[in-house]
Amino acid sequence: MTYDEVRPPVPETVDAGLATHPLVGRPGKIIAVHLNYPSRIAQRGRRPAKPSYFLKPVTSLAVSGASVERPLGTELLAFEGEIALIIGRTARRVNPDHGWSHVAGVTAANDLGVYDLRGADKGSNLRSKGGDGFTPIGPSMISAEAVDPARLRVRTWINGELAQDDSAATVVFGFGELVADLSQLITLEPGDVILTGTPAGSSVVVPGDLIEVEVDVPDSGLTSGRLATAVTEGSTPLPEYGAQPMADDHQRIEAWGSAEAAGVSEVEELELTDEMINKLRQISVATLASQLRKHGYNQLFIDGVHTNHPGHKMIGRARTLRFVPAREDLFGSHGGGYNAQKKAFDALNPGEVLVIEARGERGTGTVGDILGLRAQVRGAVGIVTDGGVRDWAAVAELDIPTFSAGPHPAVLGRRHVPWDSDLTIACGGASVQPGDVIIGDDDGVLVIPPAVLSEVLDDSLVQEAEEEWIAARVADGESVDGLYPLTGAWRQRYRDQNSTEGS
């Protein structure tokens, strides 16, 4: 059966420029993978254990040759050249070996997104990646029966200059695996589109730029043709009743692909003042996590670590240390003597937190009593490791807290080689850069990019004040309906009371 025989019909009443496409008609859904290519994963500094996804509206579809508007007032429209899978047969709870058989064909796609609008999405990518014309695909389809998916290649050109070039043979999650994974809970239907991730090279485009994406099988003659999209400037401002564009240096680095390309410093200079620290002492990690999510940051919690100092809050600037998996020859060259681990502890300064990447490996210690004492003497305010801790009781007796995955008596070389320090690392699933603000309490540890600290602090204090007022009402016997969170009459009552107290 060919795809033309299973492709859903195009409704005549639907605007073909927005909701239909000559390759897919009007698909039920467009599903995009967050991270899949190792080259892109290396840029992002985090490797997903399993695939994760987001949805794009059908109205974001566009054809080759169409233009895309960069919304007025935004600066960070980024392209992402991708291989798009077009589903040809219904898939429900299929296994990975059969996933590819449900694909009718592949084509080129551009997963466009506006990073200035990520803060309003709270992780959904709806506004940032769902705009009209933000998913051009085409112009032609390569039959899935004719290709080995691992031989597919995706390339992107900006104004004729090659910007992306990578092979599907490198992806972490194979295309048949993606189909199978999605089909466990979501029925995939003919015409549905799956965007399989973008390689390194994605960056910002501006009005006047021409983006071209092509998927092909090298040396075979099989190609999607070049998918061309011209960038234009929008003319209609976003209304004030909706969330406004917000760009900071973190978003600029994410959009451009690197700090150098974005023209900003990799480590935002920030003085963590006594005033800031006093504010942070009033705010729980839970509240800060909630506010960071509202600002578009969803990957900043260090999972799986717990404090050995209950009731003690840790606040400081990050220094980083990375371990790599144990290998006899590497431990022989890097494990002994004055190694990277000892140098990192010796280099700590007052007010700093040493954050250690141990890959979540709990089967050995990553810090013990001597090095913990050295951190304390140097004036450090805490240690965070997603690995184990030796000499658990002695480390717990130190003045500074250690957040870890728990105790383990084994020495370092059983699982780790101390490798390097003062670079971007992954700890407990979160990317951590030297200079990030680290805060920990009984709920866990949170990473705060310096660029957003001041704004998050003020918003968090407002939230804490509201919740304290709500808790007092609940203690008086009030129902939480409309009270938590504050809505309607309760919010007005809160405003009135605080306005009276402030006058």
Rg (CA), the chain: 26
Distance (Å, whole) CA 377 – CA 400: 10
* Residue, of 406 and 294, whose pLDDT is higher: 406
With beta carbons less than 8 A apart as the criterion, state whether 316 and 353 touch. Answer: yes
pLDDT of 3 over the 60 cut: no
pLDDT range class, residue 482, cuts 50, 70, 90: confident
Residue 16: predicted pLDDT: 38
Q: Looking at the domain 299-448, which fold is it? A: Glucose Oxidase; domain 1 (3.50.30)
Has 391 been labeled as part of a binding site?
Answer: yes
pTM to 2 decimal places: 0.57
pLDDT range class, residue 465, cuts 50, 70, 90: confident
79-124 pLDDT per residue, tens: 999 999 999 999 999 999 999 999 999 999 999 999 999 877 767 8
Has 186 been labeled as part of a binding site?
Answer: no
Has 370 been labeled as part of a binding site?
Answer: yes
Distance (Å, whole) CA 259 – CA 268: 10
DSSP assignment of 280-345, as one string? HHHS-HHHHHHHHHHTT--S-EETT-EESSTT--EEEEEEEEEEEE--HHHHHHHTSSS-HHHHHH
Q: How high does pLDDT run on average in the chain?
A: 89
CA 497 to chain centre: 40
pLDDT range class, residue 33, cuts 50, 70, 90: very high
Amino acid at site 332: G
Looking up tokens 């935004």 gives 74
DSSP assignment of 308-320, as one string? SSTT--EEEEEEE
Q: Are both 3-255 and 299-448 of the same fold?
A: no
* Residue, of 259 and 5, whose pLDDT is higher: 259
Domain edges within the chain: 3-255, 299-448, 462-502
Distance (Å, whole) CA 124 – CA 293: 11
Half-sphere exposure at residue 300, Cβ-oriented, CA atoms within 13 angstroms? 28
Has 399 been labeled as part of a binding site?
Answer: no
CATH of 3-255, one of 3.90.850.10, 3.40.50.300, 1.10.3720.10, 1.20.120.1200: 3.90.850.10
Tell me the mean pLDDT in the region 208-220: 96
